[in-house]
Amino acid sequence: MLHREGTKTIFISLLILALPYILLTQLEAPDWAVTAYLVAGLVLLGLVLQFFRNPTRRTVAELGDVIAPADGTVVVIEDVEEPEYFKGKRKQISIFMSPLNVHVNRAPVSGRTVFTRYHKGKYLVAWHPKSSTENERSTLVFETPGHGEVLIRQIAGAVARRIAVYVKPGQPVSVGEDVGFIRFGSRVDVFLPCDAEVLCAIGDKPRGGETVIARLKAH
């Protein structure tokens, strides 16, 4: 299954790849040249298609579980100050997504969307320490039943140029639901209460919508 964010990009890619092929055939280029172009074009198209893939995920979560909001590699686990929404200490888990990862962003918990905000910014590499506060980014906060609030921040990377958000304040969400998308290499930060139990480690490769990365305590 392909994600809706890829519809325009895939269509444009097909047009761009078709034009040189038409030109080669009109100029009666050698068969080897046409074949070589077709192979290269199919490889490029395959890369675009794999980037926008949207695999079905089966989310199984108990109350208090925090599910990975994205595929990728865990690169940060630390206690930090979150200045935008909580304005206080929180536990941060960051997941870096390479261009080869699935780039769908999923709700880490069930509950209600209470805050969303988009920020223009720089395009530092996504693993840069300042990317969380200086890069183009969107912040989404979800209120869980009896377990506090969870914030995720979508962060554009060095080549990412579009962050999509599909929820608005007041909108209910179900854990594992598609809530956003980031194009071409990026990062998602998760901010949890300081007493949350972390169930992942640096270097882990969680699956968005399936892997439990933390557990919240009842408040």
Per-residue pLDDT of the chain (219 residues; tens, 9 = 90+): 766 776 777 777 778 887 877 787 887 778 887 788 788 878 887 777 766 777 889 999 989 999 999 999 999 999 999 999 999 999 999 999 888 888 899 999 999 999 999 988 665 555 555 556 567 889 999 999 999 999 999 988 655 557 889 999 999 999 999 999 887 668 899 999 999 999 999 999 999 999 999 999 987
| 41 and 49 Cβ atoms separated by less than 8 Å | no
CATH of the domain spanning 65-215? 2.70.70.10
| Catalytic site includes residue 138 | no
pLDDT at 113: 98
| 106 and 176 Cβ atoms separated by less than 8 Å | yes
pLDDT at 161: 58
pTM above 0.85, yes or no: no
pLDDT at 160: 52
Determine which one of 94, 110, 131, 186 is catalytic.
Answer: 186
Count Cβ atoms within 10 A of the Cβ of residue 180 and give its class: 0-12 exposed, 13-18 middle, 19 or more buried.
Answer: buried
- Token representation of residue 151: 């914030």
